[in-house]
């Protein structure tokens, strides 16, 4: 699950916002930096981390759990 | 946001809903064949957020010299006869051309350093069918590389992109499609696309499952098609794959072929009891065996044991798989988790619905001007390595070409203003309440998941369990949806997705109840046999008198016949 976006490193390019399939990341219009708004919806696909040109994003590989078949 | 907002209208010749492999190939072919204006709309971003981006990129390509008849037979047997043989042969015939097109766009397939040949592996369940692995583009690999070159190619061709727009409904009037409507997921603005033809290339449904990276697939294309009176088929064919409990992992096919073994709670390698191929068996056999072991009290937990794999397997995955998987393995390794050297807790995980919009060989649905591609289109049951990408390439290219031909003679679209207003009202059927009242959507989703993921709903079904699931679906529709908590636009889109998941769930249950046999991904404990009289498609359509009909397969134009399903020894393939 997405853990952090380093505001010092973030250039505000918006790539992570566009690359997120789950609408988790938003651009803050005031700071012009990317922010994690809906972390609980992250599906740990690493799209944002791979998209970021300055390695500002860290995604932890451990997921939110969903119900099992039994 | 809501019904008082200004209406945005976009006019186009061809609207493509969904920017994955199917949508991108449709756009490319439509442009190559003279369509003036093509628009792709996506609820995420075109080419960047869908399942195609996350794919490993392994694809079935029939090379010159490969035996088409043998490969087609393997797929026919793999799909247990419920096979659109004309589509499969067309897909195989065109597959090498698709590969060459990708190469002309800039894709480089990795080759053996010594022989210089393309790297090809057996497709699980379809041996001797082979998939070619390792597509690369610049520093990208797999689905990331493929979607990037396709996106660049269609953008160069002048295709317009409309990201972050959630399409809610197709505009269908008098048996013809006239466009689609939806809203922007960040502004909430209502948008009408007026289009001479539409390709639906956005759908699959995992019910936000525990399989890796499938949570954005919420059955949107299935639901919008169903509401518009489009035929859907094979909706009982759901693939439950397997996955680790705590993190993502994809690539069970190659590791099982390399020797990894599924174990039950007693540490027993149980698969050989069920299938001679053991843990390298087809996915449906593995999850059905896990369910049988559960019934015997031999699990959970279940495990996937990688400890006997060669040490270089981890390196092979990191170097040869694209996109998220290598990064995932690196991040896990940093936390001290060496997946490919451990015995990892594992379980069935719902991945994909193989049913979808029923089309002809040209990817045309029963609605004039409406085509389907990618996983929105039904191409029969089964999940084989390299199959999903290949079938999406084929159906995308076919739908794009067919739409181009159709548009040459089609009249201008004329969506009825009354109809679009009606669809607008249906879209904005929920008001946003910032006060936090109501049932959280996450709770509603969990209720839906508990029902869908239950082993006796999606793995080994029976009449009673399916009827129970139907009752639960009705309760979610009647009790939960009206009281759902919708706090902001993010919730609003999730609410619409939940509605679509529920429609898909109802279609799956209805089709599963109708098919009174066991075939391919559909296993009925009360009808465990493969029954030749059920070699027919179950077609669901809201406008049919009973809501469904059965359709015989067109055997007269097919190469393989029902008798070809029975091997000479008289053993069933199931």
Q: Which of B220, B234, B231 is nearest to B175 (CA)?
A: B231
SS3 assignment, position B167: strand
B3 part of a folded domain: no
Complex confidence, ipTM: 0.97
pLDDT on residue B566: 81
pLDDT band at residue B322 using 50, 70 and 90 as cut-offs? confident
Say how many domains are in chain B.
Answer: 1
Q: Which of B318, B245, B321 is nearest to B54 (CA)?
A: B321
My answer on whether omega of the bond before B251 falls inside 30° of 0, hence cis, is no
Going from the C-alpha of B426 to that of each of B224, B357, B421, B488, the distances in angstroms are 12, 22, 9, 18
pLDDT on residue B254: 83
How far is B6 from B2, CA to CA, in rounded Å?
A: 9
Q: What is the pLDDT of residues B444-460, one digit of tens each?
A: 999 999 999 999 999 99
Q: What is the pLDDT of residues A15-63, one digit of tens each?
A: 999 999 999 999 999 999 999 999 999 999 999 999 999 999 999 999 9
Q: Are the Cβ atoms of B328 and A46 closer than 8 angstroms?
A: yes
Q: Are the Cβ atoms of B246 and A62 closer than 8 angstroms?
A: yes
User: How many Å lie between the alpha carbon of A32 and the closest alpha carbon of chain B?
Assistant: 16
My answer on whether omega of the bond before B53 falls inside 30° of 0, hence cis, is no
Q: Are the Cβ atoms of A59 and B331 closer than 8 angstroms?
A: yes
> pLDDT averaged over chain B?
94
pLDDT on residue B225: 98
Going from the C-alpha of B536 to that of each of B42, B171, B506, B566, B570, the distances in angstroms are 33, 30, 20, 17, 22
pLDDT on residue B294: 97
Going from the C-alpha of B295 to that of each of B288, B298, B406, B475, B521, the distances in angstroms are 11, 8, 53, 28, 19
CATH code at position B258: 3.90.700.10
Q: What is the pLDDT of residues B29-56, one digit of tens each?
A: 999 999 999 999 999 999 999 999 999 8
Question: Which H, E and C letters describe chain A, residue by residue?
Answer: CEEEECCCCCCCCCHHHHHCCCCCEEECCCCCCEEECCHHHCCCCCHHHHHCCCCCEEECCECCCCCCCC
User: How many Å lie between the alpha carbon of B362 and the closest alpha carbon of chain A?
Assistant: 30
For A31, residues 6+ apart whose C-beta sits below 8 A from its C-beta are A7
Share of chain B above pLDDT 70, in %: 98
pLDDT band at residue B3 using 50, 70 and 90 as cut-offs? very low
Residue B105 has pLDDT above 80, yes or no: yes
pLDDT on residue B568: 53
B499 part of a folded domain: no
How far is B31 from B337, CA to CA, in rounded Å?
A: 47
Q: Are the Cβ atoms of B248 and A45 closer than 8 angstroms?
A: yes
Q: Which of A62, A65, A21 is nearest to B210 (CA)?
A: A65
Mutation target for B interface from A2, A17, A40, A45: give the one with most B CBs within 10 A.
Answer: A45
For B368, residues 6+ apart whose C-beta sits below 8 A from its C-beta are B175, B176, B177
> Rounded to the nearest 10 degrees, what angle do helices B324-334 and B313-320 cross at?
140
For B488, residues 6+ apart whose C-beta sits below 8 A from its C-beta are B432, B434
Query: How many CB pairs below 8 A link A and B?
Result: 105
Residue B2 has pLDDT above 80, yes or no: no
Contact call for residues B109 and B86 (beta carbons, < 8 A): no
Instruction: Tell me the residues of A at the B interface, defined by beta carbons under 8 Å apart.
Output: 18-23, 37-38, 40-41, 43-47, 49-51, 59-63, 65-70
Residues of chain A contacting residue B323, judged by C-beta atoms under 8 Å apart: 46, 50
My answer on whether omega of the bond before B539 falls inside 30° of 0, hence cis, is no
Give B244's strand partners.
B346
- Determine the average pLDDT of the residues in B208-234: 96
B117 part of a folded domain: no
Max CA separation in chain B (angstroms): 69
pLDDT band at residue B6 using 50, 70 and 90 as cut-offs? low
Contact call for residues B230 and B367 (beta carbons, < 8 A): yes
The residue segments making up the domain with residue B320 are 244-347
How far is A25 from A58, CA to CA, in rounded Å?
A: 13
How far is B431 from B344, CA to CA, in rounded Å?
A: 45
Residue B573 has pLDDT above 70, yes or no: no
Which of A41, A49, A66 is nearest residue B327 as measured by Cβ atoms? A49
Model's pTM, two decimal places? Answer: 0.96
How far is B261 from B263, CA to CA, in rounded Å?
A: 6
Residue with the bigger pLDDT between A49 and B316: it is A49
User: How many Å lie between the alpha carbon of B213 and the closest alpha carbon of chain A?
Assistant: 6
Question: Which H, E and C letters describe B462-516, residue by residue?
Answer: CHHHHHHHHHHHHHHHHHHHHHECCCCHHHHHHHHHHHHHHHHHHHHHHHHHHCC
How far is B391 from B456, CA to CA, in rounded Å?
A: 29
Residues of chain B contacting residue A35, judged by C-beta atoms under 8 Å apart: none
Q: For B290, name the nearest residue in chain A, comparing CA atoms only.
A: A69
Which of A21, A59, A70 is nearest residue B44 as measured by Cβ atoms? A21
CA angle B560, B566, B572 (to 5 degrees): 135
pLDDT band at residue B247 using 50, 70 and 90 as cut-offs? very high
Q: Are the Cβ atoms of A18 and B48 closer than 8 angstroms?
A: yes
Measured from the Cβ of residue B136, the count of other Cβ atoms closer than 10 Å reads 18
For B233, residues 6+ apart whose C-beta sits below 8 A from its C-beta are B355, B356, B358, B378, B537, B538, B539, B540, B551
Pairing of strands B190-200, B370-372: parallel
User: How many Å lie between the alpha carbon of A7 and the closest alpha carbon of chain B?
Assistant: 21
Q: What is the pLDDT of residues A29-42, one digit of tens each?
A: 999 999 999 999 99
Which of B213, B245, B494 is nearest residue A65 as measured by Cβ atoms? B245
B270 part of a folded domain: yes
B457 part of a folded domain: no
Q: Are the Cβ atoms of A44 and B213 closer than 8 angstroms?
A: yes
Q: Are the Cβ atoms of B210 and A41 closer than 8 angstroms?
A: no
B250 part of a folded domain: yes
User: How many Å lie between the alpha carbon of B281 and the closest alpha carbon of chain A?
Assistant: 20
Q: For A69, name the nearest residue in chain B, comparing CA atoms only.
A: B454
CA angle B516, B517, B522 (to 5 degrees): 105
Mutation target for B interface from A37, A57, A70: give the one with most B CBs within 10 A.
Answer: A70
Residues of chain B contacting residue A20, judged by C-beta atoms under 8 Å apart: 44, 49
Residue with the bigger pLDDT between B323 and B384: it is B384
SS3 assignment, position B440: coil
Q: Are the Cβ atoms of B454 and A70 closer than 8 angstroms?
A: yes
CB environment B364-376: b (16+ within 10 A), e (fewer): bbbbebbbbbbbb
Which of A37, A61, A69 is nearest residue B331 as measured by Cβ atoms? A61
Residue with the bigger pLDDT between B320 and B65: it is B65
Q: For A23, name the nearest residue in chain B, comparing CA atoms only.
A: B490
How far is B467 from B500, CA to CA, in rounded Å?
A: 20
Q: What is the pLDDT of residues B410-438, one digit of tens each?
A: 989 988 899 999 999 999 998 898 787 89
B532 part of a folded domain: no
Tokens for B136? 């690369």
How far is B525 from B301, CA to CA, in rounded Å?
A: 23
How far is B469 from B457, CA to CA, in rounded Å?
A: 7
Q: Which domains does chain A have, with CATH numbers?
A: 2-59 (3.30.70.20)
């Amino acid at each position: 699950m997405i853990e952090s976006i380093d505001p010092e490193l973030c250039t505000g390019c918006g790539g992570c916002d566009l690359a997120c399939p789950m609408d988790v990341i938003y651009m803050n219009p005031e700071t012009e930096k990317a922010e994690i708004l809906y972390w609980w919806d992250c599906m740990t696909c690493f799209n944002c981390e791979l998209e970021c040109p300055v390695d500002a994003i860290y995604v932890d590989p451990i997921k939110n759990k969903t119900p099992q078949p039994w | 946001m809501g019904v008082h907002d200004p209406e945005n209208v976009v006019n186009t010749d061809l609207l493509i809903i969904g920017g994955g492999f199917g949508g991108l190939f449709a756009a490319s072919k439509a442009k190559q064949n003279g369509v003036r204006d093509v628009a792709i709309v996506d609820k995420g971003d075109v080419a960047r957020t869908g399942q195609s981006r996350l794919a490993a990129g392994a694809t079935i390509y029939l090379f010159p010299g490969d035996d088409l008849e043998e490969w087609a037979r393997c797929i026919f047997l793999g799909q247990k006869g419920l096979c659109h043989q004309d589509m499969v042969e067309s897909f195989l015939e065109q597959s090498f051309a698709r590969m060459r097109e990708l190469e002309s766009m800039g894709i480089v397939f990795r080759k053996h350093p010594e022989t210089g040949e393309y790297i090809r592996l057996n497709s699980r369940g379809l041996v001797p069918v082979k998939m070619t692995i390792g597509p690369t583009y610049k520093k990208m690999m797999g689905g990331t590389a493929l979607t990037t070159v396709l996106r660049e190619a269609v953008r160069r061709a002048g295709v317009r992109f409309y990201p972050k727009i959630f399409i809610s409904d197709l505009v269908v009037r008098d048996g013809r499609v006239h466009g689609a409507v939806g809203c922007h997921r960040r502004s909430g603005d209502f948008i009408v696309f007026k289009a001479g033809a539409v390709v639906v290339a956005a759908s699959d449904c995992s019910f936000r499952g525990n399989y890796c990276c499938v949570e954005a697939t919420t059955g949107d294309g299935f639901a919008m098609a169903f509401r518009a009176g489009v035929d859907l088929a094979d909706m009982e064919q759901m693939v439950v794959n397997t996955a680790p409990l705590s993190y993502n992992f994809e690539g069970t096919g190659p590791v099982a072929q390399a020797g990894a073994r599924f174990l039950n709670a007693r540490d027993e390698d149980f698969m050989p009891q069920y299938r001679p191929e053991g843990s390298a068996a087809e996915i449906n056999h593995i999850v059905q065996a896990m369910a049988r072991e559960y019934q015997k009290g031999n699990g959970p937990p279940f495990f996937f044991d990688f400890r006997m794999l060669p040490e270089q397997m981890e390196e092979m995955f990191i170097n040869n798989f694209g996109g998220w998987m290598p990064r995932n393995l690196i991040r896990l390794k940093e936390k001290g988790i060496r997946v490919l050297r451990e015995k990892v807790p594992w379980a069935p995980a719902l991945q994909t619905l193989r049913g979808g919009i029923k089309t002809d060989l040209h990817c045309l649905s029963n609605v004039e001007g409406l085509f389907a591609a990618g996983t929105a289109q039904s191409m029969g049951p089964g999940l084989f390595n390299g199959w999903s990408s290949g079938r999406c390439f084929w159906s995308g290219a076919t739908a794009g070409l067919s739409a181009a031909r159709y548009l040459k003679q089609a009249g201008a679209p004329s969506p009825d203003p009354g109809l679009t207003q009606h669809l607008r009202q249906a879209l904005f059927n929920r008001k946003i309440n910032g006060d936090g009242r109501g049932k959280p959507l996450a709770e509603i989703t969990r209720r839906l998941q508990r029902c869908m993921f239950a082993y006796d709903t999606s793995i080994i079904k029976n009449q009673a369990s399916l009827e129970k699931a139907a009752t639960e679906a009705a309760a979610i529709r009647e009790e939960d949806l009206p009281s759902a908590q919708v706090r902001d636009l993010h919730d609003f889109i999730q609410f619409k997705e939940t509605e679509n998941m529920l429609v898909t769930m109802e279609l799956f249950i209805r089709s599963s109840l109708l098919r009174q046999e066991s075939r391919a991904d559909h296993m009925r404990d009360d009808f465990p046999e493969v029954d030749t009289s059920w070699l027919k498609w179950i077609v669901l359509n809201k406008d049919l008198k009973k809501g469904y009909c059965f359709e015989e397969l067109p055997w007269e134009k097919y190469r393989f016949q029902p008798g070809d399903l029975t091997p000479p020894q008289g053993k069933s393939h199931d």
